[in-house]
């Protein structure tokens, strides 16, 4: 291993991915011509050595700090002159960073902090600009006729100590500083989020394409969530390689939340970390690490993107719910009411009645709020199970809200998901199938869309397919203790006859099982032959609020959800054994028409 002191110049093209997207062959040809006809001769003229080409970038080694700065100034001046006649959107521009440091030489390649700092400085530079470390500046300031500006000490990402940074003005471009500070943007009504470029922590700069690719795909996937305002890629990527000040970035982009992360490749494995930050406070709301093997790099990228993009909106929603809960009722907007109602509906400790009240308030504030109509189409038929509401009356109201929701916003994933569950609860299997399938096609990363699809498949008799969707849903958004989705998952296990697994899930609730699952626990216990345990569960259920409801209303409402006769038989067998219905009831239900059951 050889060490030496050298001046390292790192450069890359600004907006290269965008330029390639516009004209891939033309951009590649232009860049190749520039390297061969201008840049490489210029580097040789200043006694530099091209260490490696990295897609749109170059890493260059100089024995002299003065030569490196002189080369960079000439580089930017010639580029500005060469691209003068091109439109701003098609110009090839470079950012350049230069550092003087101790490096490790390995064959023709170089490594070490000296290289890493140069790369970080390049990220600080403006398009067409140059950033220097303090060591380079001290050697060059008295030997080069140029104007230098002190940026002060900068905390460079993954560099232990702050580095004093200088910019140098170049004749044609006049670029002297990083992206200027602008007036803070107001926060929009929707939750707004910026995804910063994921940091490439690998020693191989060529892995930059992978970290950038993950970032871009996460931006694309988050854009599927209609309730989010996602900052465009070009705006977020201006902060690539720069020190992170979450509050400042949030103000400049109008973002309430920021996603940042890193990618590290080692051998045949890759580790991706991601975290969600509240920009104003710098609070870490969520963080996760993903370790994967690289048998198929593109499948790995898809899996990572779906997992990260699926988790983030739920974390934002939970934060938003906590924030609006602290507001007085008189000040709630339609969006606040929707958040409260949705939370109550999906987390039954708050109650379905409360959800309906909030959703109706949302419609008072905004009668054309499609999501509120859709959630009411779900909540009204669900109230039959929870509140003992009249099935026929709730079905009529649910259909009215479903019709309006799908007319107002037919392409909203959450609208389709909620309407699908409403139709399933009303026994309309074909419509539930169609809307749940549409919801997951519109947003395959949303846990509520996946839940609607899984629940629908389970009650259509396709339990194996449903279990696959439940597994993906749980990966994106694990169950909370008061999560109504656990009810649907256990229903699917019941129809598969996997009773022991249901009890295993219930044991994790550590004696705090909500009453909406106590009845099913009794049915499961009796199917396993645990008569005494079943009796205790029934007694517990009858002591709850739901236990005061008419049991046959519950059973009839449940049976209209079940499409396959064999699944219905399994449920009715359990209900008969625990005493919720008798043989006559079962015969009536088994041989009723669908209209009678509903």
In a domain, 490, yes or no: no
> What is the average pLDDT across 60-77?
91
Residue 561 has pLDDT above 60, yes or no: yes
> What is the average pLDDT across 75-91?
80
Query: What is the 3-class SS of 113-175, one letter each residue?
Result: HHHHHHHHHHHHCCCCCEEEEHHHHHHHCCCCCCCEEEEEEECCCCCCCCEEEEEECCCCCCC
Measured between alpha carbons, how far is 564 from 317 in angstroms, rounded to an integer? 36
Measured between alpha carbons, how far is 582 from 576 in angstroms, rounded to an integer? 6
Q: Tell which of 427, 443, 472 closes a domain.
A: 472
Measured between alpha carbons, how far is 425 from 456 in angstroms, rounded to an integer? 9
Percent of the chain with pLDDT over 70: 79
**512 pLDDT band (50/70/90 cuts)?**
low
516-to-93, 380, 529 alpha-carbon distances in Å: 62, 16, 22
Reported as a single tens digit per residue, the pLDDT across 354-382 is: 889 989 988 988 898 888 999 999 999 98
Measured between alpha carbons, how far is 147 from 160 in angstroms, rounded to an integer? 29
- Say yes or no: 365 and 303 in one domain: no
CA-based end-to-end distance of the chain: 79
> What is the average pLDDT across 450-474?
91
Domain range spanning residue 385?
A: 327-472
Q: Which two tokens stand for residue 311?
A: 């988790």
> What is the average pLDDT across 182-194?
60
In a domain, 82, yes or no: yes
Q: Which two tokens stand for residue 281?
A: 């406070």
- Say yes or no: 464 and 343 in one domain: yes
- Say yes or no: 283 and 410 in one domain: no
Mean pLDDT score of the chain: 80
Please list, in sequence order, all residues whose beta carbon lies within 8 angstroms of the beta carbon of residue 28, skipping any fewer than 6 positions away: 20
**594 pLDDT band (50/70/90 cuts)?**
very low
Reported as a single tens digit per residue, the pLDDT across 377-387 is: 999 998 888 78
**151 pLDDT band (50/70/90 cuts)?**
confident
> What is the average pLDDT across 144-150?
83
- Say yes or no: 336 and 236 in one domain: no
Alpha helices in 461-497 (DSSP H): 463-476, 485-495
Residue-level pLDDT at 591: 44
Residue-level pLDDT at 588: 56
Query: Largest Cα–Cα distance of the chain, in whole Å?
Result: 102
- Say yes or no: 355 and 282 in one domain: no
Q: Which two tokens stand for residue 399?
A: 């259909």
- Say yes or no: 228 and 95 in one domain: no
Residue-level pLDDT at 349: 47
Number of domains in the chain: 3
Residue 179 has pLDDT above 60, yes or no: no
CA angle 168, 171, 172 (to 5 degrees): 120
Residue-level pLDDT at 527: 92
Q: When comparing pLDDT for 136 and 586, which is higher?
A: 136
101-to-59, 109, 114 alpha-carbon distances in Å: 14, 15, 4
111-to-69, 117, 125, 538 alpha-carbon distances in Å: 21, 11, 22, 69
Task: Please name the helix (run of DSSP H) or strand (run of DSSP E) that holds residue 304, with its range, or none.
Answer: helix 297-325
Which of 220, 285, 240, 226 shows the shortest CA–CA distance to 258? 285
């Amino acid at each position: 291993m050889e060490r030496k002191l050298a001046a390292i110049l790192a450069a890359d093209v600004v907006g290269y991915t965008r330029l390639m997207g516009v004209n891939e062959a033309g951009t590649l040809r232009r860049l190749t011509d520039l390297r061969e006809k201008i840049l490489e001769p210029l580097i040789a003229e200043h006694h530099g050595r091209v260490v490696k080409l990295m897609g749109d970038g170059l890493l260059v080694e100089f024995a002299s700090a003065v030569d490196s700065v002189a080369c960079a100034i000439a580089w930017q001046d010639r580029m500005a002159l060469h691209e003068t006649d091109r439109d701003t959107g098609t110009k090839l521009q470079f950012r350049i960073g230069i550092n003087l440091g101790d490096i490790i030489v390995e064959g023709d390649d170089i490594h070490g902090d000296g290289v890493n700092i140069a790369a970080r400085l390049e990220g600080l530079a403006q398009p067409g600009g140059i950033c220097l470390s303090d060591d380079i500046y001290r050697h060059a300031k008295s030997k080069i006729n140029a104007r230098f500006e002190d940026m002060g000490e900068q905390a460079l990402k993954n560099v232990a100590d702050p580095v004093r940074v200088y910019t140098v003005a170049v004749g044609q471009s006049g670029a002297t500083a990083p992206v200027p500070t602008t007036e803070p943007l107001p926060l929009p009504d929707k939750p707004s989020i910026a995804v910063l470029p994921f940091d490439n922590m690998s020693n191989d700069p060529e892995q930059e394409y992978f970290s950038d690719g993950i970032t871009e795909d996460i931006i694309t996937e988050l854009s599927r969530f209609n309730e989010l305002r996602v900052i465009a890629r070009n705006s977020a990527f201006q902060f690539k390689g720069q020190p992170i000040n979450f509050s400042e970035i949030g103000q400049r982009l109008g973002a309430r939340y920021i996603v940042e992360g890193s990618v590290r490749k080692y051998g045949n494995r890759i580790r991706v970390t991601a975290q969600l930050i509240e920009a104003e406070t710098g609070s870490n709301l969520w963080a996760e690490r993903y370790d994967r093997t690289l048998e198929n790099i593109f499948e790995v990228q898809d899996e990572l993107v779906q997992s990260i993009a699926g988790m983030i909106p739920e974390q934002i929603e939970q934060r938003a719910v906590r924030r609006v809960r602290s507001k007085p009722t008189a000040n709630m907007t339609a969006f606040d009411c929707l958040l409260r109602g949705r939370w109550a509906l999906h987390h039954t400790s708050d109650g379905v009645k409360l959800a309906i009240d909030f959703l109706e308030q949302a419609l008072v504030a905004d009668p054309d709020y499609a999501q509120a109509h859709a959630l009411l189409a779900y909540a009204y038929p669900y109230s039959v199970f929870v509140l003992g509401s009249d099935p026929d009356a709730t079905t009529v109201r649910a259909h009215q809200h479903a019709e309006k929701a799908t007319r107002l916003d037919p392409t909203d994933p959450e609208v389709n998901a909620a309407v699908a569950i409403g139709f399933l609860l009303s026994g309309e299997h074909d419509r539930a199938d169609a809307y749940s399938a549409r919801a997951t096609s519109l947003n395959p990363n949303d846990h509520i869309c996946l839940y609607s699809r899984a629940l629908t498949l389970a009650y259509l008799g396709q339990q194996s397919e449903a279990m696959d969707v439940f597994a993906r849903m749980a990966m994106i958004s694990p169950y909370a203790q008061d999560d109504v989705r656990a009810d649907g998952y256990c229903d699917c296990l019941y129809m598969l006859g996997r009773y022991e697994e249901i009890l295993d899930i219930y044991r994790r609730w550590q004696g705090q099982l909500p009453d909406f699952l106590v009845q099913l626990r009794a049915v499961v216990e009796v199917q396993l032959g645990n008569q005494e345990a079943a009796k205790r569960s029934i007694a517990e259920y009858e002591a709850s609020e739901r236990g005061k409801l008419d049991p046959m209303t519950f059973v009839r409402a449940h049976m209209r959800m079940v499409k396959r006769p064999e699944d219905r038989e399994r449920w009715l067998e359990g209900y008969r054994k625990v005493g919720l219905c008798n043989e006559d009831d079962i015969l009536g239900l088994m041989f009723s028409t669908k209209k009678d059951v509903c």
